[in-house]
């Protein structure tokens, strides 16, 4: 007789089911480095705002500038990246929207720079031209500038000013890391399709820049961005001396405690 057949206690006789593991697939972007980088980025502090190159903080160390059309999600991305709700607000204060805003990352020689959002409708044309000149000056002459994080709304990528920024960066041999922002607005399939299309367009333009999906809303792509930032700003794990467990002296039991223990055991 088949051992499963018509037994009164079928349940007990069934072979135990093989355990299926539903362990979450590890995200390759989440590494020890990216986690530490995220913690480091949380040290961001507002340094100053400058209306022009000559008034910027001293041109030493490393900095990465965030650029994008207004409404691309730049402030949200900076706040998410630094885990500080109000940080990029500093750049949005009246009078600062057209300035270059500097943030230190635990060290004044490692900086995040928030460039004014371009295409800001409320700015008069002649002011836009003046500002464009200042932006150009900054991009061309700033020695500590390593490269750009260029933010584009995933639904409207590669608009006129975006391609201008890409060309500028390319001609100055700066790196660009592109964020297709608000990726949560699309389903996975279309979002990856949009990513692929922008990659193809960059290839056609012979621009060899890195690109990723990003969402401040659900934090998609956060670790990847943190790793890129940290790597380009020369952040190393040695920068954060780790608390070394082996350095803690072992607890010793003095004679009196030892005597107590012996008594208890008896």
Binding site for ligand GDP (CB under 6 A): 68, 70-76, 117, 181-182, 184-185, 215-217
CB of 109 to ligand GDP, least distance (A): 26
DSSP secondary structure letter of residue 69: B
Nearest-CA neighbor of 68 among 102, 123, 104, 119?
Answer: 119
Other beta carbons within 10 Å of 47: 17
Nearer to ligand GDP, 203 or 219 (CB): 219
CB of 19 to ligand GDP, least distance (A): 38
At residue 73's C-alpha, the angle toward residues 190 and 99, to 5°, is 150
Task: Please list, residue by residue across 145-179, b when 16 or more beta carbons sit within 10 angstroms of its beta carbon and e when fewer do.
Answer: bbbbbbbbbbeebeeebbeebbebbbeeebbbbbb
CB of 204 to ligand GDP, least distance (A): 26
Nearer to ligand GDP, 105 or 154 (CB): 154
CB of 118 to ligand GDP, least distance (A): 10
CB of 78 to ligand GDP, least distance (A): 8
Nearer to ligand GDP, 133 or 185 (CB): 185
Backbone phi and psi for residue 248, each to the nearest 5 degrees, phi listed first: -80, 125
Nearer to ligand GDP, 84 or 181 (CB): 181
Q: In whole angstroms, what is the distance from residue 27 CA to residue 35 CA?
A: 12
Q: In whole angstroms, what is the distance from residue 78 CA to residue 85 CA?
A: 9
Q: Which helix (H) or strand (E) holds 100?
A: strand 100-105
Q: How many CA atoms lie within 13 A of 31 on its CB side?
A: 13
Nearer to ligand GDP, 84 or 215 (CB): 215
Nearer to ligand GDP, 74 or 142 (CB): 74
46: tokens are 């507002």
CB of 251 to ligand GDP, least distance (A): 49
């Amino acid at each position: 007789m088949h051992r499963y057949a018509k037994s009164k206690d079928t349940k007990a006789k069934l072979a135990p089911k093989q355990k299926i593991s539903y362990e979450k697939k590890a995200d390759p972007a989440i590494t020890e480095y990216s986690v530490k980088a995220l913690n480091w980025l949380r040290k961001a502090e507002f340094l100053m705002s400058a209306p022009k190159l000559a008034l910027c903080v001293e041109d030493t160390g490393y900095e990465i500038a965030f650029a994008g059309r207004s409404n691309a999600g730049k402030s949200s991305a900076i706040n998410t990246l630094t885990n500080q709700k109000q940080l990029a607000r500093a750049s949005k204060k009246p009078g600062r929207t057209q300035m270059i805003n500097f943030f230190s990352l635990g060290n004044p020689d490692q900086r995040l720079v928030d460039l004014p959002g371009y295409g800001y409708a409320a700015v008069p044309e002649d002011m836009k031209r003046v500002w464009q000149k200042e932006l150009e000056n900054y991009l061309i002459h700033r020695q500590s500038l390593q490269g750009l994080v260029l933010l584009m709304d995933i639904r409207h990528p590669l608009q006129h000013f975006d391609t201008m920024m890409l060309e500028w960066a390319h001609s100055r041999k700066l790196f660009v890391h592109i964020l297709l922002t608000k990726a949560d607005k699309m389903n996975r399939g279309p979002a990856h399709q949009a990513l692929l299309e922008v990659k193809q367009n960059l290839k056609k333009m012979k621009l060899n820049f890195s690109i990723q999906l990003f969402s401040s809303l659900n934090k998609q792509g956060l670790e990847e961005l943190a790793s890129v930032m940290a790597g380009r700003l020369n952040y190393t794990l040695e920068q954060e001396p780790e608390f070394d467990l082996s350095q803690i002296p072992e607890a010793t039991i003095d004679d009196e405690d030892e005597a107590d223990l012996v008594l208890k055991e008896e």
